[in-house]
Amino acid sequence: MTLLSRRPGSFGGVVLSRFQRPGQVIVGGFAAVIAIGTALLALPIATTEGEPAGTLPALLTATSAVCVTGLITVDTDPHWSVFGEVVILLLIQVGGLGIMTLATLFALLVSGRLGLRARLLAQAETKTLHGADLRRVIRRIVVFSLVSETVLAVVLSLRFALGYAEPPGRAIWLGVFHSVSSFNNAGFTLWTDGMVRFVADPWVVLPVAFAVILGGLGFPVVFELLSNWRRPRTWSVLTRITVGVSAALLVGGTLLFTVVEWQNPRTLGPLPDHVKFMAGFFTAVMPRSGGLNVIDISAMRHESWLATDILMFIGGGSAGTAGGIKVTTFGLLAFVMWAELRGEDRVNVGHRRVAGPVQRQALTIALLGVGIVAAGTFTLLAMVPHSLDRVLFEVVSAFATVGLSTGITPQLPPPGQLLIIVLMFIGRVGPLTVFSALALRERTRRYELPEERPIVG
């Protein structure tokens, strides 16, 4: 990756060139980490039985961990040894930090690149790059992530030790593993039934849900809220849309899941009323990319599956650990539609006008997502005997890097599992690649063609 290059006659002899094919850097980096993780998980020491796990299970698990998804074909705790679980945990951490760092840096380069470039130019000229925003941003991301994970790990470890009589070492390991998995929206658990056993425990359910929300909001939004939470009128468009759309989806999802599953004897039906609301809230949070569950996903009603598909596809905030097309994309398109319905030729959010290129980028990412999900669903349907709703659920979960499942992923044939691997990789790496390619390669046309208005609709 080349950031700086020298040209004769330029100011100071240094100019900031654009990233050299950033998509290749992103794809190559994630692929390399997945390859290393696959090799480690394929070792005999990585399984409890001391036998090699096989290339395909190791590859799918490594991809799911690095892409912070959570779809698996073998149960984590019974199958993988302590060594294997540590490898999975490290892959989740590397994947989560890598995603937040890359996404935030690209956001800086796009939204504020003039100021950032100027500072980089000046500091590169004086060889003081150590003080640049890039280093400060990366440090804040790492510190913010580790502190958040540590706080949650302490809460969960104490709960597992005091409330469930887990031995201290086991309680700490459970707390650390599920803290990292929750904050990074990875969807991995060390229990075969997910987190169903904790459905009535607010000391586990609520902290985990909050960590998923925090990690999925996105680093820029979280820090803007921390510094300006009392002055919402000063929030950026990114924060306004992320907070507004996230809150609406969370409230709407909670009400929908609670109402639809209220009398379902296989999900919320047997639970006390107050637990039903908490479980409905948790179930509404997890499609945003959390991937954890306190009720049996395979037993949910078809209406809930469809609602989950929609929430998974939308995903969470930009520059965070969540997947999907992102709430920013969804929110921008909603404002575009509203402006068009009102006959306005400008799209405004709060006291800011949204640039035309950003609107086109949002439309491109959304339509690419629809196309990938449609192609993946069509291909997987041709391989398996499962119904459309189950296949669509699995494909959206993989593409949106969520990890929720109706239970058919372990039953897929090898070609189907390879398709899931490809979808997870595209879903995690693809949006970053597309975003960087669209935003960092803007071209200004030096002429205008005659305008024509074709019939639309």
Q: State pLDDT tens for residues 323-372.
A: 899 999 999 999 999 988 888 888 888 888 888 888 888 888 899 899 99
CA distance 414 to 352: 50
84 Cα distance to chain centroid: 23
Q: In this structure, is residue 454 part of a structural domain?
A: no
- The alpha carbon dihedral of 88, 100, 364, 335 has a sign of positive
- Can you give the pLDDT at residue 442? 55
266 Cα distance to chain centroid: 29
Q: Which of 320, 274, 270, 315 is nearest to 295 (CA)?
A: 270
The pair of three-digit structure tokens given for residue 72, joined into one six-digit string? 């698996």
- Can you give the pLDDT at residue 443? 60
| Summary mean pLDDT of the chain | 84
Q: In this structure, is residue 316 part of a structural domain?
A: yes
319 pLDDT above the threshold of 80? no
Proportion of the chain above pLDDT 90, given as a percent: 58
193 Cα distance to chain centroid: 22
The enclosing H or E element of 16 equals strand 15-16
Proportion of the chain above pLDDT 70, given as a percent: 83
HSE on the CB side for 238, CA within 13 Å?
22
193 pLDDT above the threshold of 70? yes
Instruction: Find the mean pLDDT for residues 3-11.
Output: 39
215 pLDDT above the threshold of 50? yes
179 Cα distance to chain centroid: 16
The pair of three-digit structure tokens given for residue 356, joined into one six-digit string? 């035309």
Tell me which long-range contacts 208-211 makes (C-beta under 8 A, separation of at least 24): 208/152, 208/156, 208/178, 208/182, 208/282, 208/290, 208/292, 209/281, 209/282, 209/285, 209/286, 209/290, 211/148, 211/149, 211/152, 211/179, 211/182, 211/183
Q: Which of 420, 186, 407, 181 is nearest to 300 (CA)?
A: 407
CA distance 441 to 364: 15
Q: In this structure, is residue 452 part of a structural domain?
A: no
State how many domains the chain has: 1
Instruction: Find the mean pLDDT for residues 97-105.
Output: 66
120 pLDDT above the threshold of 70? no
Confidence of residue 116 (pLDDT cuts 50, 70, 90): very low
- Can you give the pLDDT at residue 7? 40
- On whether the CB atoms of residues 62 and 34 are closer than 8 A, the answer is yes
Alpha helices in 230-326 (DSSP H): 237-261, 273-285, 302-314
Using alpha carbons only, how large is the chain's radius of gyration in Å?
A: 23
Q: In this structure, is residue 446 part of a structural domain?
A: no
- On whether the CB atoms of residues 83 and 37 are closer than 8 A, the answer is no
- Can you give the pLDDT at residue 18? 44
- Can you give the pLDDT at residue 125? 33
Confidence of residue 155 (pLDDT cuts 50, 70, 90): very high
**pTM for the predicted model, two decimal places:** 0.86
Instruction: Find the mean pLDDT for residues 238-253.
Output: 93
The pair of three-digit structure tokens given for residue 223, joined into one six-digit string? 């820090």
Residue ranges making up the domain that contains 297: 4-439
Q: In this structure, is residue 143 part of a structural domain?
A: yes
